[in-house]
Amino acid sequence: MAAPRVLVLRAPGTNCDVETAYAFETVGATTERIHVNQLSENPKVGEQFQILCFPGGFSYGDDIAAGRILAQRIRVHLGELLNTFVNADKLVLGICNGFQVMMRLGIFFPGSEDRPPATLTLNRQGRFEDRWVHLKNSQSNSIFLRDVEQIYLPMAHAEGRFVVADKQAGEALKNASQLGLRYCRENGQSSDETFEFPVNPNGADYNVAGISDPSGRIFGLMPHPERHMVPTQHPHWTRRKDQPEFGEGRKIFENAVAYFA
């Protein structure tokens, strides 16, 4: 099969689209960065893509809330196209601000638009955090996390705290394997109980760093896999004795491309 085509959606304030497109291209995909204004004029253009990616950045300056303005634009002008990706055998990925946009759109929780079971909000410490974090695949159903057990990625956000509506909602999402990417200790230890800072950098419930929809085809995460594609991006690369061939974020993009192989 020909290489899958990836639509990387840009908006005012987006600043990780070039790196994200490059990450997909590195593992064999064909990418195109399209501005939301251009796509709104002709949504049919988006139908030729197999993967939709919302990259990181600060869309519309996060002036109301992180991702909310872009989510509203998509809902009004690109709702039909979004439904095509959600309902067809296609993939959707959101990274950092892109994850925030997807949460505002509610596409992780079909049928729960009026009362979503979870949201993203301000970090518990009330400030922007920029650091590297250890992450664990906690029985995720996500296609993007196949064969990923533990991963080390950078994160940079002020509104990345995952909060569930109540215990019942959180347990339902966990049992559906939707809370699959968790902050963990360096030794891989994970827990449903919230870890202390900085192991859990924002106070997220269940230590959640990324979630998926019930199908596993839609995935969003706060850390940045496109920022760890090569070994020299690791913060301690000069002190590592056994240098790996690739950065740890690469596998997420490889899994997306392999889905269409």
Residues taking part in catalysis: 96, 224, 226
Q: Quick one: which of 128, 218, 198, 124 has its CA closest to 163?
A: 124
CA dist., res. 116 & res. 88, Å (int):
22
Region for 125 from its dihedrals, namely left if φ exceeds 0, alpha if ψ lies in -120 to 50, beta otherwise: alpha
First to last CA, the chain: 6
CA dist., res. 215 & res. 234, Å (int):
32
What is the DSSP code (8-state) at residue 90?
A: -
Region for 147 from its dihedrals, namely left if φ exceeds 0, alpha if ψ lies in -120 to 50, beta otherwise: left
